[in-house]
Amino acid sequence: MQIGDKLPDFNLLCADGNWYTQFSFADKYALAIVFTCNSCNISKAYGQRLIDIFHQFEEDNLGILGINSNDAEKSPEDGYDEMVTISSKLHLPELHFRYLHDPTQDVAKRFGAKVNPEVFLFNSKRELVYKGAIDDCWDNEAMVTQIWLEDAIDYALDGVEVDYPEIDPIGCPIIWK
């Protein structure tokens, strides 16, 4: 995906047992889609940070959802049942933080996602305004100096152009079939 592209269609099963499409989040002023998984240490390091970002912008009507596209046959830790366990442990259903399963990997391919975690942020018109990294220090939150995703969310919610629309994501490669 390129900056300015429209949000692609999807219809995915969530760890809460419900199916969600891009229209399920139509009321959100901005929507951050994070390709993530259970098995990657970098994704694990960002779990609580993403929940904190969700809380920070919840009143501004930001939606954040995670999509797990890893092949569960090669990485059993990334199977749907394990997603349900992680989602429950982190209380994601109560937070309205959706963790979706992409077993065919079609959604990841449409987005052009390559690593876990990788963010795609859409504005209220569902145009891509940011893609890439969450911040500049996955392994030590205290050492973060660049909060690219948070800055991009601020800009998207204000309806202005993002200063840094693309930052190379750092993560574990998506495990393809």
Q: pLDDT tens-digit profile of 107-165?
A: 999 999 999 999 999 999 999 999 999 999 999 999 999 999 999 999 999 999 999 99
pTM of the shown model: 0.95
Q: What is the CATH number of the domain that holds 130?
A: 3.40.30.10
Distances (CA, A) of 137 to 68, 152, 162: 22, 17, 20
Spatial separation of the C-alpha atoms in residues 38 and 42, rounded to whole Å: 10
Residue 81 lies in a domain: yes
**Residue 97, pLDDT score:** 87
- Which token pair is 23? 């229209």
Residue 2 lies in a domain: no
Residue 125 lies in a domain: yes
**Residue 95, pLDDT score:** 79
Tens digits of residue pLDDT in 75-89: 999 999 999 999 999
**Residue 91, pLDDT score:** 84
Q: Which domain holds residue 153?
A: 11-20+40-173
Spatial separation of the C-alpha atoms in residues 116 and 124, rounded to whole Å: 25
Spatial separation of the C-alpha atoms in residues 99 and 126, rounded to whole Å: 19
Residue 128 lies in a domain: yes
Residue 3 lies in a domain: no
Residue 26 lies in a domain: no
**Residue 122, pLDDT score:** 98
Domain tally for the chain?
1
**Residue 127, pLDDT score:** 97
**Residue 96, pLDDT score:** 80
Residue 66 lies in a domain: yes
Residue 1 lies in a domain: no
The helix (run of H) or strand (run of E) holding residue 172 is strand 172-173
